[in-house]
Amino acid sequence: MDFRHQAIAPTGVVATAADALLVVIVAGAKGKADLPRALNAALQRALKQGDLALEGGRCLYLGAVSGVKAPRVVLAVAADASPRAVKAAFVAGLAQLKALGSRHLAVWLHGAGAVGAGHAEALTQAAGDAVYLYRHTKPSAGPAPKLGRVTLLCARADEASVAEGTKQGAAIAAGVKLARELANRPGNHCTPSQLAEQAQELARQMKLKVQVLGRKEIEQLGMGALLAVSQGSEQPPRFIVLGYQGAAASAPPVVLVGKGITFDSGGISIKPAAEMDEMKFDMGGAASVLGTLRAVAQLKPAINLVGLIAACENLPSGRAVKPGDVVTSLSGKTIEILNTDAEGRLILCDALSYAERLAPRAVVDIATLTGACVIALGHHRSGLFTPHDALAESLGRAGDAALDPCWRMPLDAEYDEALKTSFADVANVGPRAGGAITAAMFLKRFAAKLHWAHLDIAGTAWKTGANKGATGRPVGLLTHYVLEQARAA
């Protein structure tokens, strides 16, 4: 997708050379930014006929409008001028357009006041999401939306920030697309080895450093927790290290750690059959790490970024780890695996210990970790866990700015009691209540030496139901965070 912007006077909007024009009308805007006469006439007619109301989310396809050069016009209403509300209008407008023959869409924001980077980024997200089509195991899907170019029209005064937002948004959209694509691939098309190949391909494309460790090397390192999860599967595990260098080699990196369970059956503590297919999405954290590296490598900020991905399958077999088994993690701590379905924290704890070697300035792990987080926060906000207030603020701000929000959850010492056991240094599960928090408390034990945060994306990494599919979240949040860190450095 080709994202552009163009400075234009309001009167020029009707003469724009695109084959579709999306006009977003901000409800209740009092600004004197006037709508060109032809568009205003069409709007007033639609309102009078009751075909459109000035309520957020409302949208109307008009086809050709006399006096407007673009052969298709769509009106969409935003509840207010915020990027969030305007994005909802973009999404509604794009839904009308994407099945049509339009190749080049021009977008005009009416009554928003200044058009800023946030609006431009919202448009790139909405358009990137709208045209993505999964084809890897369904080549017959389609036809692919023809829309290949989106131009945000803006006033001369807003041009600089719109250009900035468009550039940043285009990179994030490419990262989100990659994350969605990889997470959507079924477990037999995205094994740990295939995920590692994708990382190597990304490294080639974007000139990143990459290292892939196999079972032998993982054994030599002493990642006993990752090995325990992988041992039930015929597919060997992979530990992937990806590096983007945008600052001096000596500058401490930001490290992103992704949970890469390419299929989670639960293992011996097997899951119920219903919806088990969705556990192919259990590498959504890993996919978001790859997507973020993709976006960052395109934007080239002055910072060092390392992505770590622990990848394996969680399956039952005669060789699988059993409830009650005790394993030794890379940290040296022993873990009693009371429930083999709490596997994410096991592979992550070894990755966190590995991260210590990189002397990072901050470490953020991203994982589809607990069903309990879905119960707590639903599908809108990811769960954010960190003992560090400044890190919580940075990540919270990044999520808000990217329209990819998270919500901070507690980590009181009292929750740690649940992880005590007579048979090892730590148990891998506590009681059902507060399950997202005890999972984070488990990770916290392995992150004591790190400036660490954990994002539980179990509710946000994919959508269920008729539109089942990966969302690419939280690539937006993470990219914003990394860019902000680069500015702060």
What is the set of active-site residues?
271, 345
Residue with tokens 């940075």: 394
Query: Closest CB to Mn ion among 306 and 367?
Result: 367
339 binds, among Mn ion, ligand BES, Zn ion, none (CB under 5 to 8 A by kind): ligand BES
Decide: is 456 part of the binding site for Zn ion (CB under 5 A). no
Decide: is 343 part of the binding site for ligand BES (CB under 6 A). yes
Q: How far is the CB of 315 from ligand BES (least distance, A)?
A: 13
**Helical residues (DSSP H) of 141-214, grouped into ranges:** 159-184, 192-206
Decide: is 298 part of the binding site for ligand BES (CB under 6 A). no
The single residue among 124, 262, 370, 386 that binds ligand BES, judged by CB under 6 A, is 370
Chain residues binding Mn ion by CB under 5 A are 264, 341, 343
Query: Closest CB to ligand BES among 158 and 341?
Result: 341
371 binds, among ligand BES, Zn ion, Mn ion, none (CB under 5 to 8 A by kind): ligand BES
- Of the candidates 280, 459, 248, the one whose C-alpha atom is nearest the C-alpha of residue 374 is 459
- Give the H/E segment covering residue 344: helix 344-356
Write phi, then psi, for 15 (nearest 5 degrees). -100, 5
Decide: is 124 part of the binding site for ligand BES (CB under 6 A). no
**Helical residues (DSSP H) of 207-242, grouped into ranges:** 215-221, 224-230
Q: Which amino acid is it at 9?
A: A
Query: Closest CB to ligand BES among 57 and 371?
Result: 371
Query: Closest CB to Mn ion among 336 and 343?
Result: 343
Q: Which stretch binds ligand BES (CB under 6 A): 30-38, 104-112, 338-346, 441-449?
A: 338-346
- Of the candidates 162, 90, 100, the one whose C-alpha atom is nearest the C-alpha of residue 125 is 90
The single residue among 57, 222, 252, 371 that binds ligand BES, judged by CB under 6 A, is 371
Please state, in angstroms and rounded to a whole number, the distance separating the CA atoms of residues 155 and 153: 7
Q: How far is the CB of 374 from ligand BES (least distance, A)?
A: 6
The single residue among 114, 339, 416, 469 that binds ligand BES, judged by CB under 6 A, is 339
The single residue among 158, 181, 264, 313 that binds Zn ion, judged by CB under 5 A, is 264
Q: Would you give the binding string for ligand BES spanning residues 305-324, x where CB under 6 A is met?
A: --------------------
Bridge partner residues of 257 (DSSP): 308, 365
The single residue among 307, 344, 383, 399 that binds Zn ion, judged by CB under 5 A, is 344
Write phi, then psi, for 249 (nearest 5 degrees). -55, -30
Query: Closest CB to Mn ion among 124 and 314?
Result: 314
The single residue among 341, 350, 365, 404 that binds ligand BES, judged by CB under 6 A, is 341
CA 37, chain centre distance (Å): 41
Q: How far is the CB of 282 from Mn ion (least distance, A)?
A: 7
The order of strands in the sheet holding 59-63 is 2-7, 149-154, 104-110, 20-26, 73-78, 59-63
Decide: is 342 part of the binding site for ligand BES (CB under 6 A). yes
Q: How far is the CB of 138 from ligand BES (least distance, A)?
A: 23
The single residue among 429, 453, 475, 482 that binds ligand BES, judged by CB under 6 A, is 429
Q: How far is the CB of 264 from Zn ion (least distance, A)?
A: 4
Decide: is 331 part of the binding site for ligand BES (CB under 6 A). no
127 binds, among Zn ion, ligand BES, Mn ion, none (CB under 5 to 8 A by kind): none
The single residue among 368, 382, 386, 394 that binds ligand BES, judged by CB under 6 A, is 368
Residue with tokens 């399958």: 313
Bridge partner residues of 309 (DSSP): 240, 258
The single residue among 282, 336, 350, 456 that binds Zn ion, judged by CB under 5 A, is 282
Q: Would you give the binding string for ligand BES spanning residues 93-112, x where CB under 6 A is met?
A: --------------------
Distances (CA, A) of 464 to 379, 436, 450: 10, 20, 34
Decide: is 435 part of the binding site for ligand BES (CB under 6 A). yes
Query: Closest CB to Mn ion among 264 and 350?
Result: 264
The residue count for binding ligand BES (CB under 6 A) is 16
Please state, in angstroms and rounded to a whole number, the distance separating the CA atoms of residues 121 and 299: 14
| Cβ neighbourhood burial of 276 (10 Å; 0-12, 13-18, 19+) | middle
Decide: is 372 part of the binding site for ligand BES (CB under 6 A). yes
Distances (CA, A) of 61 to 98, 360, 431: 12, 51, 52
| DSSP one-letter string for 410-471 | ---GGGGGGG--SSSSEES---STTHHHHHHHHHHHT-TTS-EEEEE-TTTSEE-GGG-EE-
Q: Residue 89, Cβ neighbours under 10 Å: how many?
A: 30
Decide: is 267 part of the binding site for ligand BES (CB under 6 A). no
Contact 19, 104 (CB under 8 A): yes
Contact 320, 343 (CB under 8 A): no
Please state, in angstroms and rounded to a whole number, the distance separating the CA atoms of residues 79 and 85: 6
Chain residues that interact with ligand BES, rule: CB under 6 A: 264, 282, 339, 341-344, 368-372, 374, 429, 435, 458
Chain residues that interact with Zn ion, rule: CB under 5 A: 261, 264, 282, 344
